[in-house]
Amino acid sequence: MQADLQWQVERRAESITGELKFATEGLISVGYTSMVGRIVANYATLPDVEEVAIVTPSGQTLAHNVITQINQPYRNVHPELTATLNDVIENGDPISRYITTDHTPAIIAFSPFKSTLFGSTTKYGLVVTRISLQHIQDRAFKTFLQSTATLLVAIAVILGLMGVLIQKFVLRPLWSLNIAILESQATGSFHFPKRLPKNEIRFLATTFDQTFRIVSRYEQLESEIEQRRQAELSLIESEQRERIKSQELENTLIQLQSTQLQLIHTEKMSSLGQMVAGIAHEINNPVSFIYGNLEHLRDYTTQLFTLLHLYQSQYPDAMFVIQDQQDDYDLEFIENDLPSLLDSMTTGANRIKAIVKSLRTFSRLDESALKRVNIHDGLEDTLLLLQSRLTHAATHKPIQVIKDYGALPPIDCYAGQLNQVFLNIMSNAIDALQEFGPCDREPTLWIRTKQIEENSIEIQIEDNGPGIDPQCQARLFDPFFTTKAVGKGTGLGLSISHAVVVDQHRGQLICSSQLGHGTVFTIQIPAIAAALLI
């Protein structure tokens, strides 16, 4: 209401200002300032009009309803409106403002105009009208109070009449219906109330009576249905218990089979390790004997040839028999070829010793418990054992092995079992590269190691083979699951590798593969024994 009153007063102030501008603009042009003053005084007598003024472009009061303000700067009347006054004089845009003078609210309107009396100036003269809001608000509030009082009396009368009618036609019938409903809950039968008016309450009572009869008929059916439902639920629960027991037995059987095969595999690996250690020991003895005597043989042959050269220098004219025999044996060739022959024998003996050492290191029969080892030694020994398979079957080209070893500390692990994991994963990678057949890219096996945390290391074994189907990746570590042909795989290699890495080393074995782009196996294990004993 306050905003609406203010808007109405603004429109009235603008209307009075426009009328005053129209009435005085011509008089100002011809210089009839006395007539202008009387017109201003007449407009100031209008209801609620507190101030009417004519202001020149220089800001001087040309006419005012208060005589003492004439020929005075208008800014002295309302200093707070100085900025607004100057803006209207400069730009010529009409403006209305809400102001408070002596704690009395009012609306003041500025209407610009030009006159020949003002000369050729570009500034505008102003017609100013101020209308008080106080009296209008008081009258509006008084009218509002009167209207409100009248409305409240009318509402009270209407509410009284409505109360009598509601009591007679609504409350009493509803009370009778409520009593009948409560009695029906206690007795099990509904008695239709008497003297109900012919309205919605009677319809409601009739509907309730019909509903009560229908509910009574269905209660017995509901009881029978509930009994049957309980019997079905008991049967379903019994079936679920039997199904759970069957599933538990099946899981136990699978676990027993897996455990049995793992025990067999472990026993085989133990027997194989003992056999490998025995063979390595038996091979190592003669190889050590051969390798140890090669140095003596090299010294003896050097001494014999030195002695022979001495004989040749002392007896340059050898007998014909000796000279013929020397020509037949090609002594010069023997002298030049014998060191190369001895070097080849030494290289072969060293190769046998390295293979024997790799077999002993790989089997780790003397290191079945936790022991601190260099993980790179296990990787190198595994590659040495697989050296004969690092050739592509279709192209007969060697499979390239790229090593990217990081600086790893010695780690606490079950070395023999971890070497078996390396062997399983590398063997699968080589099988994948062999099955891929000839292709544009060179078959390659990458082996990377790095320290990922203060007490953890990571080993990655990657190939650029055909990759693994996403459906197979989900079952890759399941026992007995294999993608190889019948007779070429047992499906236990990766399952046992997963158990070794995850269960025994508290690590992670992760497979990432994409069809046509190869496969990456990532092994992450802690580097200290304390993490394995948690």
CATH number of the structural domain spanning residue 17: 3.30.450.20
d(CA 510, CA 425): 12
Residue 382 CB contacts under 8 Å (≥ 6 apart), including other chains: 362, 419, 422, 423, 426
Task: Quote the distance between the C-alpha of residue 160 and its chain's center.
Answer: 65
* Number of domains observed in the structure of the chain: 3
Note the pLDDT of residue 289: 66
Alpha helices for 188-314 (secondary structure H): 200-314
Contact 95, 87 (CB under 8 A): yes
Residue 299 included in any domain: yes
pLDDT at 534: 47
**Boundary-marking domain end, from 356, 376, 393:** 356
Both 395 and 470 in one domain: the answer is yes
Question: What's the CA gap between 517 and 468, in Å, rounded?
Answer: 9
Domain stop point among 132, 167, 189: 132
- Give me the amino acid identity at 367: E
Contact (Cβ atoms closer than 8 angstroms) between residue 504 and residue 445: no
Strands (DSSP E) found in 114-188: 125-132
Stated pTM of the model: 0.40
In a domain, 504, yes or no: yes
Same domain? For 330 and 445 the reply is no
Which pLDDT score, from 0 to 100, does residue 365 have? 45
Domain containing 26 equals 2-132
pLDDT of residue 458: 94
Amino acid at 453: E
Of 28, 49, 26, the C-alpha closest to 37 is 28
**Beta-sheet pairing, 444-453 with 400-404:** parallel
Burial classification of residue 438, based on how many CB atoms lie within 10 Å of its CB (0-12 exposed, 13-18 middle, 19 or more buried):
exposed
Kindly report the backbone phi and psi dihedral angles of residue 370, in degrees, each rounded to the nearest multiple of 5, phi listed first. -60, 135
In the structure, how many helices (H) and strands (E) does the chain have?
Answer: 13, 12
Domain final residue pick, 330, 356, 382 = 356
Q: What residues does 163 pair with on adjacent strands? A: none
Q: Is the residue at 385 inside a domain? A: yes
CA 44 to chain CA mean position, Å: 74
Largest CA distance in the chain: 168
For residue 306, the tally of other CB atoms under 10 A from its CB is: 9
pLDDT tens string for the chain (534 positions)?
666 666 766 677 678 777 777 777 777 766 677 777 788 888 778 887 878 888 888 888 888 888 777 888 888 888 888 888 888 888 878 888 777 777 778 778 888 877 766 666 778 788 888 877 777 777 777 877 888 888 888 888 888 888 777 777 666 777 776 777 777 666 666 666 666 666 666 667 777 677 777 777 777 777 788 888 888 888 888 888 888 888 888 888 777 766 666 665 555 555 555 556 656 666 766 777 676 777 777 777 887 778 777 777 777 666 666 666 666 766 677 777 777 777 777 777 777 776 666 666 555 544 456 788 899 988 988 888 788 778 766 667 788 899 999 999 888 888 878 888 898 899 888 888 887 655 667 888 999 999 987 788 999 999 988 888 888 877 777 766 676 654 455 566 788 888 888 888 889 999 998 888 889 999 999 887 545 544
204 lies in a domain?
no
Place of tokens 């042909």: 485
Q: Are residues 279 and 309 in the same domain?
A: yes
Shared-domain flag, residues 414 and 509: yes
Are 435 and 315 part of one and the same domain? no
Do 396 and 296 belong to one domain? no
Identify residue 410 by its one-letter amino acid code.
P
